[in-house]
């Protein structure tokens, strides 16, 4: 009888392990395709297939687990989605509302699925490795296709040629770069990790995304400055300073990089000093003007907002800023609901950091600062890669809280 029970338990563990492997493979396939499906000239249907299959397997695992998962992140986004749904009744444009709400529902399904995925052993390491491997494979393809020594090519921002927003493409590599920098501190093969980071930086520069480049720099700077004082920290600060000087020289002394991102950085700086309305800096200045316009809209409906995604109804374009987008669309209620996860995380992570400057506490706190920066130039409330980082950050806070007990 005892042997029979042990055999059944053993079989159950094997089945569970196989299911977790399949779930991980499907998630890896989705992330890899998220990086490369356009680059490989594949249809979006194959990306949707793996995403929906991932949802399906996650819900099966949720049933197997009998609902025993951490619901805090799910509850957070559920409150936000309820407020978004309520805004349907006063949205000026139903069409704009529905286009955004469908993405919000998609994001909610993803958050549920990731809450399930985090029940797998070493789930965070798996996610880290999945992003790094996916970015590395994609960067090899990019390096093969975008050879900077080929002077016969008229270079444009990476992503435009194959139908992907360069900023979104750059964001994926920034996330992978963030995970890689963490690995540099914890992995034995540091030289290999640093070499791979050069590949990722190359792709980020090719996208011409200021957000991706500055986001990477902000994370590294935060991650280094928050480290406890040690000879190791001093070495890494020197290495970062040297790398930053080399990167700046590369941008401003290499034609391909200056044309793609150097002039965009110059125009961005100029937009703070004058009203230059040429094709690039005019765009930056327009974004600054959108801040004033957003506060005018917000002042007319500060509590409930004007309806999900309806900033575009009054201005013709979305706000390119998550803070302004939520404030105008869902008012203070929606803003408080969405950013509550940041406030809770910041309080706990800061407390953990003061108590112990452990690498894990440093990473999550630096990640939070980087996410706050991203929201200055990205509408992130339905952005799946950013929501993944938010869940990871919040889970890190929970892990630390449990460890403290």
Taking CA 328 as the corner, what is the angle to CA 90 and CA 323, rounded to the nearest 5 degrees?
A: 145
Confidence of residue 184 (pLDDT cuts 50, 70, 90): confident
How many other CB atoms sit within 10 Å of the CB of residue 336? 15
- Identify the residue with better confidence: 113 or 38: 113
d(CA 213, CA 281): 18
* In the chain, % of residues over pLDDT 90: 55
- Identify the residue with better confidence: 135 or 66: 135
d(CA 385, CA 171): 8
Q: Considering the entire predicted model, what is its pTM?
A: 0.90
**DSSP structural state of residue 228:** P
Residue 289: predicted pLDDT: 72
20 pLDDT above the threshold of 60: yes
246 pLDDT above the threshold of 80: yes
Arithmetic mean of pLDDT, 366-384: 94
Q: Which residues of 96-127 are buried (b: 16+ CB within 10 A; e: fewer)?
A: bbeebbebbeebbbbbbbbbbbbbbeebbebb
How many other CB atoms sit within 10 Å of the CB of residue 43? 10
User: Where in the chain are the domains?
Assistant: 73-94+271-359+372-405, 131-254
Per-residue pLDDT reduced to its tens digit, 311-333: 888 877 778 899 999 999 999 99
d(CA 124, CA 35): 19
Residue 230: predicted pLDDT: 83
How many other CB atoms sit within 10 Å of the CB of residue 179? 23
* In the chain, % of residues over pLDDT 70: 87
| 8 A C-beta contact, residue 200 and residue 191 | no
* Direct distance between the N- and C-terminal alpha carbons of the chain, in angstroms, rounded to an integer: 39
């Amino acid at each position: 009888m005892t042997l029979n029970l042990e055999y059944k338990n053993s079989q159950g563990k094997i089945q569970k392990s196989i299911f977790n492997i399949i779930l991980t493979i499907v998630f890896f396939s989705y992330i890899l395709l998220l990086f490369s499906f356009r680059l490989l000239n594949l249809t979006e249907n194959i990306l949707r297939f793996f995403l929906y299959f991932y949802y399906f397997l996650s819900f099966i695992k949720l049933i197997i687990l009998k609902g025993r998962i951490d619901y805090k992140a799910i509850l957070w986004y559920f409150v936000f989605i309820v407020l978004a749904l309520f805004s349907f009744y006063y949205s000026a444009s139903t069409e704009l509302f529905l286009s955004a709400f469908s993405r919000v529902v998609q994001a909610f399904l993803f958050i549920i699925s990731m809450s399930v995925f985090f029940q797998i052993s070493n789930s965070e390491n798996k996610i880290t490795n999945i992003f790094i491997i996916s970015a590395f494979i994609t960067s090899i393809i990019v390096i093969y296709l975008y050879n900077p020594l080929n002077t016969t090519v008229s270079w444009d921002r990476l992503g435009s040629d194959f139908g992907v927003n360069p900023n979104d493409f750059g964001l994926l590599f920034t996330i992978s770069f963030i995970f890689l920098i963490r690995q540099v501190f914890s992995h034995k093969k540091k030289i290999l990790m640093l070499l791979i980071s050069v590949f990722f930086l190359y792709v980020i520069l090719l996208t011409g995304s200021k957000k991706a480049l500055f986001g990477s720099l902000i994370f590294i700077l935060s991650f280094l400055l928050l480290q406890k004082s040690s000879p190791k920290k001093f070495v890494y600060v020197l290495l970062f300073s040297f790398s930053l000087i080399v990167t700046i020289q590369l941008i401003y002394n290499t034609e391909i990089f200056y044309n793609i991102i150097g002039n965009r950085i110059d125009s961005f700086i100029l937009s703070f000093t004058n009203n230059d309305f040429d094709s690039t800096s005019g765009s930056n200045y327009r974004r600054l003007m959108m801040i004033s316009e957003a506060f005018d809209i917000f002042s007319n409906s500060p509590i409930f907002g004007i309806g999900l995604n309806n900033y575009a109804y009054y201005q013709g374009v979305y706000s390119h800023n998550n803070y302004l987008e939520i404030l105008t669309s869902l008012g203070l209620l929606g803003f408080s609901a969405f950013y509550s996860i940041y406030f809770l995380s910041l309080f706990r992570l800061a407390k953990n950091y003061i108590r112990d400057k452990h690498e894990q506490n440093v990473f999550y706190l630096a990640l939070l600062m980087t996410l706050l920066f991203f929201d200055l130039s990205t509408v992130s409330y339905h952005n799946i890669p950013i929501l993944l980082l938010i869940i990871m950050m919040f889970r890190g806070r929970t892990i630390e809280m449990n460890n403290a007990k």
